[in-house]
Structure 1
Amino acid sequence: MPRQARRSLPSFNPLDPVVLDDPYPTYADMRQRGRLCRVGPAAWGVTRHADVASLVRDPRLGSQFPEEYHRASAGDGPAGDFFGKIILYRDPPSHTRLRKLIGKAFSPALVRSLRPDIAGLVDELLAPAREQGHFDAVTDLAFPLPVMVVCRLMGISPDERDEIRPRAVDLGKAFAAIVPDDARAEADAAVVWLRSYLSELLEQRRRSPGDDLLSRMLAAEDGGRTLSHEEIVDNAVFAFFAGFETTMNLIATGCAALLRFPDQMARLRADRGLTATAVEEFLRFDAPIQGTARLVHEPIDIDGHTLRAGRVVVLLLGSANHDEAVFADPDRLDIGRSPNPHLSFGGGAHLCMGAALARVEGEVVFNRLLDLFSEVEAAGPARRREKTTFRAYESVPVAVATA
Structure 2
Amino acid sequence: MTPAGRVLPARMDPLSPEVVADPYPTYARVRAAGPLCRFGPASWGVTRHRDVAALLRDRRLSNTFPEEDPQFRMAPDLSRDVFRRIIPTRDPDDHSRLHQQMVRAFSPGVARRSAQRIGALVDELLTPGCDTGRLDAVADLAFPVAASVVCELIGLPVARTRAEVWPRAAALGRAFTPFLPAADRPAADAALSWLRGYVREVLAERRADPDGDLLDRMLAVADPAEGVEEVVDNVVFLCFTGYETTMNMVCTGTVALARQPDEWRRLRADPSLAGTAAEEFVRFDAPIQYTARLALEPITVGERVIRPGRSVFLLLGCANHDEEVFADPGRVDIGRRPNPHVGFGGGVRGCLGAALARIEGAVIFDRLARRLAGLELAAPPEREPSALFRSYASIPLAVTPA
Q: Shorter-chain TM-score category?
A: over 0.9
1:208 and 1:313 mapped to 2: Cα distance? Answer: 39
**Which residues in structure 2 correspond to 1:30-179 (within 5 Å)?**
30-69=30-69, 72-161=72-161, 162-179=163-180
Say if 1:350 and 1:4 are closer, same or farther in 2 by CA, change over 3 A: farther
Instruction: Verify: 1:299 aligned to 2:298, yes or no.
Output: yes
2:60 and 2:208 mapped to 1: Cα distance? Answer: 43
Provide, for residues 353-388 of structure 1, a one-character-per-residue CA deviation record: whole Å limited to 9, x for no partner: 111111122112112222222222222322322354
Say if 1:4 and 1:29 are closer, same or farther in 2 by CA, change over 3 A: farther
Specify the SS of the correspondent of 1:401.
strand
Provide, for residues 115-143 of structure 1, a one-character-per-residue CA deviation record: whole Å limited to 9, x for no partner: 22222322232222112101121232223
2:272 and 2:153 mapped to 1: Cα distance? Answer: 27
Provide, for residues 47-82 of structure 1, a one-character-per-residue CA deviation record: whole Å limited to 9, x for no partner: 100000111111111111112238942132001110
Say if 1:328 and 1:208 are closer, same or farther in 2 by CA, change over 3 A: closer
* Structure 2: tracts of 5 or more residues without a match: none
Are the equivalent residues in 2 in contact too, given 1:296–1:307 (CA < 8 A)?
Answer: yes
1:393 and 1:105 mapped to 2: Cα distance? Answer: 27
Say if 1:158 and 1:96 are closer, same or farther in 2 by CA, change over 3 A: closer
**Which residues in structure 2 correspond to 1:241-256 (within 5 Å)?**
241-256=240-255
Are the equivalent residues in 1 in contact too, given 2:298–2:306 (CA < 8 A)?
Answer: yes
Are the equivalent residues in 2 in contact too, given 1:13–1:19 (CA < 8 A)?
Answer: yes
> Which residue of the partner structure matches residue 204 of structure 2?
203
Specify the SS of the correspondent of 2:176.
coil
Say if 1:322 and 1:388 are closer, same or farther in 2 by CA, change over 3 A: closer
> Which residue of the partner structure matches residue 231 of structure 2?
232
Which range is displaced more, 292-301 or 68-77? 68-77
Are the equivalent residues in 1 in contact too, given 2:47–2:318 (CA < 8 A)?
Answer: yes
What amino acid sits opposite 2:19 in the alignment? V
> Which residue of the partner structure matches residue 364 of structure 1?
363
Specify the SS of the correspondent of 1:345.
coil
The structural deviation recorded for 1:7 is 5.1
Say if 1:90 and 1:307 are closer, same or farther in 2 by CA, change over 3 A: same
Say if 1:38 and 1:8 are closer, same or farther in 2 by CA, change over 3 A: same
The structural deviation recorded for 1:41 is 1.2
Say if 1:52 and 1:13 are closer, same or farther in 2 by CA, change over 3 A: same
Specify the SS of the correspondent of 1:141.
helix
CA root-mean-square deviation: 2.5
2:30 and 2:364 mapped to 1: Cα distance? Answer: 35
> Which residue of the partner structure matches residue 343 of structure 1?
342
1:105 and 1:140 mapped to 2: Cα distance? Answer: 26
Provide, for residues 15-53 of structure 1, a one-character-per-residue CA deviation record: whole Å limited to 9, x for no partner: 222222222121112111111100111000011000001
> Which residue of the partner structure matches residue 329 of structure 1?
328
1:55 and 1:214 mapped to 2: Cα distance? Answer: 32
Provide, for residues 225-263 of structure 1, a one-character-per-residue CA deviation record: whole Å limited to 9, x for no partner: 999533322211111111132222111101111112111
Are the equivalent residues in 2 in contact too, given 1:105–1:213 (CA < 8 A)?
Answer: yes
Say if 1:208 and 1:132 are closer, same or farther in 2 by CA, change over 3 A: farther
Say if 1:7 and 1:40 are closer, same or farther in 2 by CA, change over 3 A: farther
2:205 and 2:23 mapped to 1: Cα distance? Answer: 46
2:292 and 2:119 mapped to 1: Cα distance? Answer: 34
> Which residue of the partner structure matches residue 260 of structure 2?
261
2:299 and 2:104 mapped to 1: Cα distance? Answer: 34
Report the TM-score, using the length of structure 2 for normalisation.
0.92
The structural deviation recorded for 1:151 is 2.0
Specify the SS of the correspondent of 1:326.
coil
Are the equivalent residues in 1 in contact too, given 2:278–2:358 (CA < 8 A)?
Answer: yes
Specify the SS of the correspondent of 1:205.
coil
Instruction: Verify: 1:276 aligned to 2:275, yes or no.
Output: yes
* Structure 1: tracts of 5 or more residues without a match: none
2:346 and 2:92 mapped to 1: Cα distance? Answer: 15
Report the TM-score, using the length of structure 1 for normalisation.
0.92
1:135 and 1:200 mapped to 2: Cα distance? Answer: 34
Instruction: Verify: 1:191 aligned to 2:188, yes or no.
Output: no
2:221 and 2:120 mapped to 1: Cα distance? Answer: 29
Provide, for residues 246-302 of structure 1, a one-character-per-residue CA deviation record: whole Å limited to 9, x for no partner: 222111101111112111111111112211111110000010111111100001122
What amino acid sits opposite 1:361 in the alignment? E
Specify the SS of the correspondent of 2:399.
strand
Are the equivalent residues in 2 in contact too, given 1:56–1:347 (CA < 8 A)?
Answer: yes
Say if 1:296 and 1:209 are closer, same or farther in 2 by CA, change over 3 A: closer
The structural deviation recorded for 1:150 is 2.1
Instruction: Verify: 1:10 aligned to 2:47, yes or no.
Output: no
2:301 and 2:113 mapped to 1: Cα distance? Answer: 44
